[in-house]
A = this chain, B = another copy of it.
Amino acid sequence: MAIIVQKFGGTSVADAPKIRRAAHRAIDAVEKGYGVVVVASARGKQTDQLIADALELNPNPPKREMDQLISTGEQQSVSLIAMALEAMGHSAISFTGGQIRMMTDGAFSQALIMSIEAERIHKQLEKGKIVIVAGFQGIDKDENITTLGRGGSDTTAVALAVALDAEQCEIYTDVDGIYTTDPRIFKDAVKMDRIYYDEMLEMASLGAGVMHIRAVGFGMRYNMKIHVRNSGNNNTGTIISAEESEMEGVSVSGATVQRDMAKIGLVKVDNIPGNAAKVFAHLAKAKVVVHDIIQTEISNQKANLSFMIGISDIDAAKAAIDQIKEEVNCEEVFVRDDIAEVSVVGIGMRTHYGVAETMFGALAEAKVNIDSITTSEIRISCAVDRDQADEALRAVCLAFQLDKQPHDRKNN
């Protein structure tokens, strides 16, 4: 029996009618002959409410207790979905993470999945039951409840699909799929029918919401096809999969903008081995997430070092730099807190020339000044003034025809 995993996010199970709609999805798949495993998040704003309840009692709650608390949201969802399915005449059984031995390490609030006991689920599927599994949660070896962190239910779903050797993992959400860029900024953005793991990873790490980066990474590692689709309609969504030979040949698949960025520069650091490592070790200790490091040599003794961070990390980053700046003999530290980063992503860049020129040209024509540029194999990012960010994104989208489906684009 082919197995399909369907994941429903919080908005897709927010109330009784939506729970019934999700249940109907599962039944549709059963009627097509699939063994169906449903993964669900907590209903609507339940998790936020529980977090608020916790903070009212303790501004800094112990993470173990926080996981014990918020994991109840998913447990409620799965039992309610099972009840809805039973009311519709289908046999169903719900499981918590613990009940299917979703074993994790003991890193509360950001646990990593170690193993899953697929046997208990297979047994229930063989009995003809629809199996509903609580997303976002597992247990450690001491039976403590652990949660997987933001987007954890996506990760649960993909991991289960892998463990059960499912045909596909469907991620139901409140949008039609993955868009070429954020439609709130570029209204002509189009939904992609397909995106490759590498591209999705880059897009997710650049802040494109929809799918959690860990889940995409899991899918890529085990080559599990992920179908992101709308729980409100029957449209085909976006398939996230491995590269195929019949590549459509577009250079750029999507574009992103990260608005709340800051740039920190260390001017004239001693250019000796180990200095950069010291700087970033301090930043890591301060839990600052660093993007896009640029180092330029200005003499054979001195170099300039700059990097991008989220704006909320500015204070932590400055404190960390203050501790190290004399040791690395830095002459000056500057901070720009008015930066945004516009990026284009596409595995086609590996084989297409001229992508950088097209991007820089489009920005120049829109009179957007580029502060700095970084690239990876399948990505080009430009730091720009935050005031010009949306304008910059739109210019880039038009230049790469991201308002059109790939087969309709010209001269790609």
Give chain A's interface residues, CB within 8 Å of chain B. 16, 19-20, 50, 53-54, 56-62, 64-66, 68-69, 71-72, 75-76, 78-80, 82-84, 86-87, 92-94, 96, 98-99, 143-145
12 other A-B residue contacts (CB within 8 Å) besides A68-B79, A98-B143: A16-B53, A16-B56, A19-B57, A53-B80, A57-B83, A58-B87, A62-B82, A65-B79, A65-B82, A65-B94, A68-B75, A69-B83
CA distance A114 to B79 in the complex (A): 25
User: B94, A68: Cβ atoms under 8 Å?
Assistant: yes
User: A83, B98: Cβ atoms under 8 Å?
Assistant: no
Task: Give the 7 A-B residue pairs with the shortest CB-CB distance, closest first.
Answer: A58-B87, A72-B72, A69-B79, A58-B83, A68-B79, A61-B83, A57-B84
Chain B residue with the shortest CB-CB distance to A19: B57
User: How close is A131's CB to chain B, nearest CB, in angstroms?
Assistant: 12
Q: Which residues of B contact A54 (CB under 8 A)?
A: 79-80, 83
User: A69, B58: Cβ atoms under 8 Å?
Assistant: no
Interface pairs (23), CB distance under 8 Å: A16-B57, A53-B76, A53-B80, A57-B84, A58-B83, A59-B87, A61-B86, A61-B87, A64-B93, A65-B92, A68-B75, A68-B79, A68-B82, A68-B96, A69-B79, A69-B80, A69-B83, A71-B75, A96-B145, A98-B98, A98-B143, A99-B143, A99-B144
Copies in the complex: 2
Chain B residue with the shortest CB-CB distance to A67: B79
User: A86, B69: Cβ atoms under 8 Å?
Assistant: no
**Residue of A57, A66, A76 most packed against chain B (CB within 10 A):** A57
User: How close is A40's CB to chain B, nearest CB, in angstroms?
Assistant: 13
Q: Which residues of B contact A19 (CB under 8 A)?
A: 57
CA distance A267 to B61 in the complex (A): 67
CA distance A69 to B145 in the complex (A): 17
Q: Which residues of B contact A78 (CB under 8 A)?
A: 68
Chain B residue with the shortest CB-CB distance to A68: B79
Q: Which residues of B contact A83 (CB under 8 A)?
A: 54, 57-58, 61-62, 65-66, 69
Chain B residue with the shortest CB-CB distance to A54: B83
CA distance A58 to B50 in the complex (A): 25
Cβ-neighbour of A57 out of B62, B87, B98, B99 (below 8 A): B87
User: How close is A57's CB to chain B, nearest CB, in angstroms?
Assistant: 4
Q: Which residues of B contact A94 (CB under 8 A)?
A: 65, 68
User: How close is A71's CB to chain B, nearest CB, in angstroms?
Assistant: 8
Q: Which residues of B contact A71 (CB under 8 A)?
A: 75
CA distance A126 to B365 in the complex (A): 71
User: How close is A158's CB to chain B, nearest CB, in angstroms?
Assistant: 24
Q: Which residues of B contact A98 (CB under 8 A)?
A: 98, 143
Chain B residue with the shortest CB-CB distance to A61: B83
Q: Which residues of B contact A50 (CB under 8 A)?
A: 76
User: B57, A20: Cβ atoms under 8 Å?
Assistant: yes
Given A53-B16, A64-B93, A98-B98, residue A58 in contact with residue B76 (CB < 8 A): no
Q: Which residues of B contact A61 (CB under 8 A)?
A: 83, 86-87
User: B68, A86: Cβ atoms under 8 Å?
Assistant: no
User: How close is A272's CB to chain B, nearest CB, in angstroms?
Assistant: 46
User: How close is A230's CB to chain B, nearest CB, in angstroms?
Assistant: 22
CA distance A61 to B68 in the complex (A): 25
Chain B residue with the shortest CB-CB distance to A100: B143
Q: Which residues of B contact A96 (CB under 8 A)?
A: 68, 145
CA distance A309 to B285 in the complex (A): 70
CA distance A88 to B78 in the complex (A): 34
CA distance A84 to B87 in the complex (A): 39
Q: Which residues of B contact A20 (CB under 8 A)?
A: 57
Q: Which residues of B contact A58 (CB under 8 A)?
A: 83-84, 86-87
User: How close is A41's CB to chain B, nearest CB, in angstroms?
Assistant: 14
